[in-house]
């Protein structure tokens, strides 16, 4: 069985799997997992425990996620430390993520 949406045919099962995933997991899969694992390092550090490493300061980590370079250049001590630990590799800016999106991602990786 196929559903038609905007002229595309998609199997029902394909969309159903996405609906069942929590929003934070969907966002993580779309924007983070290319470079980060939840529990393992990849191109970037594992994200499990990252909120604690930022002293549970969601405002600071949100700024870093949106624009790591800007946060590093502002002198934020944790941002500078992350840059040093990862050979000054910069995370891709994520200005399109809303505060709620970032909250949902952080909630997902904390679990």
| CATH code of the domain covering residue 17 | 1.10.760.10
Q: Is 0.85 surpassed by the pTM of this model?
A: no
According to DSSP, the residues that pair with 11 across neighbouring strands are: 2
Tell me which H or E stretch contains 105: helix 99-110
Within 32-67, residue ranges assigned H as helices are 50-53, 58-66
Residue 12 in this model has a pLDDT that exceeds 50: no
2-5 and 8-11 beta bridge pairing: antiparallel
Residues 15-52, buried b or exposed e (16+ Cβ, 10 A)? eeeeeeeeebbbbbeebbeeebbbeeeeebbebeebbe
Q: Is residue 98 part of a domain?
A: yes
Q: Is residue 55 part of a domain?
A: yes
Q: Is residue 1 part of a domain?
A: no
pLDDT band at 18 (very low <50, low <70, confident <90, very high): low
Q: Is residue 2 part of a domain?
A: no
Q: Is residue 86 part of a domain?
A: yes
Lowest pLDDT segment from 3-7, 55-59, 97-101: 3-7
How does pLDDT run across 25-52, given as a tens digit for each residue? 999 999 999 999 999 999 999 999 999 9
Q: Is residue 54 part of a domain?
A: yes
CA distance 21 to 15: 11
Question: Could you tell me the residue range of the domain that residue 20 belongs to?
Answer: 7-110
What integer pLDDT is reported at residue 20 of this predicted model?
A: 73
Percentage of the residues of the chain whose pLDDT score is greater than 70: 83
Q: What is the mean pLDDT of residues 91-105?
A: 97
Burial of 7 (0-12, 13-18, 19+ CB in 10 A): exposed
In total, how many domains does the chain have? 1
Q: Is residue 18 part of a domain?
A: yes
Q: Is residue 89 part of a domain?
A: yes
């Amino acid at each position: 069985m196929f559903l038609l949406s905007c002229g595309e045919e998609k199997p029902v099962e394909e969309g159903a799997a996405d609906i069942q995933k929590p929003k934070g997991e969907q966002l993580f899969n779309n924007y983070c997992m290319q470079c980060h694992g939840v529990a393992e390092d990849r191109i970037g550090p594992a994200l499990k425990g990252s909120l604690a490493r930022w002293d549970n300061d969601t405002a600071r980590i949100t700024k870093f996620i949106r624009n790591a370079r800007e946060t590093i250049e502002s002198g934020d001590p944790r941002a500078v430390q992350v840059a040093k630990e990862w050979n000054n590799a910069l995370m891709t800016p994520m200005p399109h993520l809303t505060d709620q999106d970032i909250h949902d991602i952080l909630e997902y990786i904390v679990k």
